[in-house]
Structure 1
Amino acid sequence: MRGRVPVAVGLAAVALLLPITGAQADPKPTVAQAKAKLKKLDEQADKIVDQYNAANEKWKKAKKQYIAVNTTYKAQASKVEELREGLVTVANSTYQTGDVVSFGLFYSPDPESMLSGLAALDQLSQGRARRLSEYQGAIADLKRQRDQKKSTFDEAAKVKADLLKEKKKADELVKEQTELLRRLGAYNAGNPNSAGIAYTGSASGNALAALQFAYRQIGKPYRYGGTGPGAWDCSGLVQAAWSSGGVSLPRTSFEQWAWGASRRVSLDALEAGDLLFHSGYGHVGIYAGDGKVVHAPRTGDVVKVVTLAQYNAIGAVRP
């Protein structure tokens, strides 16, 4: 399913699993039981963390749309105000001079002067009508913008609330994973400033750029929702790595699998740079070539390279 955390086997490790609480304490789990529990937590974490990431992306998109709509709203409001001021100016001018005065042009003894006056009056009338039409159109557009802004804001608020619920679940799960890993003596805090290692595999082109980026992250800690630069989750690492290779991927592993629907490749025909997915598609890594995979495994571990056999991939996508 994913890179396994090394576990010290023996009585000393078993003793770390639970504190001694007296003669009536429940039987201590064996190391095998602890491993099984950790595996189950990993599977649960993959699902919840991906849901969290998906909700977070939806919220960020809704927020971006809200900002865009609000910006348009302000610009539109400014346009309406300018039109309003223009109409007020024209109205004041008409009130002061009166169109009736202009009608004197109709009785000019000079036919050319009379025609010129009629043309000027017609242009003035058309200008007023055009301004009024623009004003009315702007008002209607402003109302649509206001309605859209309200709808977007409501969506963002709902997504944010759902996100907080998912985050609470993920936080509780991560806490349980961390406590179990510490008891097993298998918790690796990693180094957020790790310089990683050089990639020397067979990749070329944009896949080479993606793998060079991923290898520079080796040793940095896993953190759910992490998008760098000091910590990563699995899909965050893959997205950033391939972004450096000029390919834009969706944020979550489920979305990346769906994105690659027409780009699936056989596990027997892997090439360096291919995306590799676990069962359930809640975890993703990058095939590095030569039977190796680079990925951000899970809470309590770091970005690392594992063998293809350890990774247990069930599907692959070629960006």
Structure 2
Amino acid sequence: MRGRLPVAAGLAAAVLLLPGTSAQAAPKPTPAQVKAKLDKLNTQADQLVDRYNAANEKWKKARKQYAGVNEDYKKQSGRVEDLRQQLVSMAVDAYQVGDIGGWGGVVYTPDPDAMLSGLAALDQLSQERASQLQSYEDAIKGLKQRRDEKKSLFDEAAKVRTELAGEKEKVDRMVDEQTKLLRKLNVYNAGDPNSAGVVYRGSASGNALSALQFAYKQVGKPYRYGGTGPGSWDCSGLVQASWAAGGVSLPRTSYEQWAWGSSRRVSLSALEPGDLLFHAGFGHVGIYAGNGKVVHAPQTGDVVKIVSLSEYHAIGAVRP
């Protein structure tokens, strides 16, 4: 996208300075052709990265659920084993004492009060056995259900993992192509993972101020797809973390953030510091900083930076 090209103004000079080639070589691309190719790569990368992030979130969610089921499975297994041991112990006691002998001792006691007390104790023991048996059966049923849930979650996680691997391969190829072209043009910016950023001095207040203060501290750190900090970021990862610092929980991807804000859309003519700004296609997101500025993580070969609103080319906004 035009507003996201690193050192766009220097592309023409960079192309003209490329080493000469033999007479048989293909003609050098014009600055307009180079810019068009980068625009296309950036747009495609936005879409692929967002799909990768979405698949990654599905995988992490499935993995978390899988871990939770595993923990429940262990607890349930322990409970079933405890019940089994209790039943075994009760069965051994009944065999050793003998229910008939026990009943006989109660029935033929010469003390009526003792007999009634003994009968009540036997009835209580019988109810306890019945309760233990029922608990055991319920636990077994619960254990089977958990096993089924675990299998289902495992299958879903495996499917997502395969999906994620496919998306990652596509993104990796795209990033390699971007990197080679940018390095060839000498406009690749590796950034500094330890950058201290800059101080936000805008007009934001409240949680928007906290979000922008966080985002500004990331300025100079490299863009990396799937990056969620602290040393590198992708666009939606930066926005999510910045607003988390402001106490607001946002979804992971730019598409999800746009959907999340369906009831929070604001006009581009009424922007306030902290608003989320989206590019066409909603594959890229940044944060409006006020005074006509936007902070965002652009694309491969660039760093978290502050750009003008006119350079950013926003088509939609959401107010967290």
Structure 2, unmatched stretches of 5+, are none
Report the AA paired with residue 240 of structure 1: A
Cα shift at 1:9: 4.8
Identity %: 67
Q: Which residue in the other structure is 2:312 paired with?
A: 311
What CA distance in whole angstroms lies between the structure 2 residues aligned with 1:295 and 1:301?
10
Q: How big is each residue's C-alpha offset from its partner over 1:67-87, in whole Å with a ceiling of 9 and x where there is no partner? A: 000000001000000000000
Flag as ranges the 4+ runs of structure 1 deviating above 6 A: none
**TM score, norm. by length of structure 1:** 0.97
What CA distance in whole angstroms lies between the structure 1 residues aligned with 2:264 and 2:14?
48
Checking the alignment, whether the CA contact within 8 Å between 1:14 and 1:29 is kept in structure 2 is no
Cα shift at 1:108: 2.4
Structure 1 81/162 Cα, relative in aligned 2: closer, same or farther at 3 Å? same
What CA distance in whole angstroms lies between the structure 2 residues aligned with 1:71 and 1:259?
32
Q: Which residue in the other structure is 2:260 paired with?
A: 259
Q: Which residue in the other structure is 2:56 paired with?
A: 56
What CA distance in whole angstroms lies between the structure 2 residues aligned with 1:225 and 1:11?
32
Structure 1 317/38 Cα, relative in aligned 2: closer, same or farther at 3 Å? same
Q: How big is each residue's C-alpha offset from its partner over 1:2-36, in whole Å with a ceiling of 9 and x where there is no partner? A: 433224355662353x873x433222211110000
Checking the alignment, whether the CA contact within 8 Å between 1:4 and 1:310 is kept in structure 2 is no
What CA distance in whole angstroms lies between the structure 1 residues aligned with 2:132 and 2:282?
58
What CA distance in whole angstroms lies between the structure 2 residues aligned with 1:10 and 1:93?
93
Q: Which residue in the other structure is 1:216 paired with?
A: 217
What CA distance in whole angstroms lies between the structure 1 residues aligned with 2:315 and 2:205?
24
What CA distance in whole angstroms lies between the structure 2 residues aligned with 1:103 and 1:78?
34
Q: Which residue in the other structure is 1:14 paired with?
A: 16
1:69-80, aligned counterparts within 5 Å?
69-80=69-80
Cα shift at 1:182: 1.2
What CA distance in whole angstroms lies between the structure 2 residues aligned with 1:254 and 1:117?
72
Matched, 1:122 2:151: no
Structure 1 25/246 Cα, relative in aligned 2: closer, same or farther at 3 Å? same
Q: Which residue in the other structure is 2:45 paired with?
A: 45
1:1-319, aligned counterparts within 5 Å?
1=1, 2-7=3-8, 8-10=10-12, 13-16=15-18, 20=21, 22-104=22-104, 105-319=106-320
Q: How big is each residue's C-alpha offset from its partner over 1:82-112, in whole Å with a ceiling of 9 and x where there is no partner? A: 0000000000000000000111212223221
What CA distance in whole angstroms lies between the structure 2 residues aligned with 1:293 and 1:115?
85
Report the AA paired with residue 16 of structure 2: V
**2:287 alignment partner, SS class:** strand
**1:131 alignment partner, SS class:** helix
Report the AA paired with residue 159 of structure 1: V
Checking the alignment, whether the CA contact within 8 Å between 2:11 and 2:35 is kept in structure 1 is no
**TM score, norm. by length of structure 2:** 0.96
What CA distance in whole angstroms lies between the structure 2 residues aligned with 1:9 and 1:251?
33
What CA distance in whole angstroms lies between the structure 2 residues aligned with 1:49 and 1:103?
75
Checking the alignment, whether the CA contact within 8 Å between 1:235 and 1:283 is kept in structure 2 is yes
Structure 1 253/19 Cα, relative in aligned 2: closer, same or farther at 3 Å? farther
**2:47 alignment partner, SS class:** helix
Structure 1, unmatched stretches of 5+, are none
Checking the alignment, whether the CA contact within 8 Å between 1:188 and 1:301 is kept in structure 2 is yes
What CA distance in whole angstroms lies between the structure 2 residues aligned with 1:246 and 1:15?
48
Query: How many matched pairs?
Result: 317
Cα shift at 1:185: 1.6
**2:222 alignment partner, SS class:** coil
Report the AA paired with residue 13 of structure 1: V
Report the AA paired with residue 191 of structure 1: D
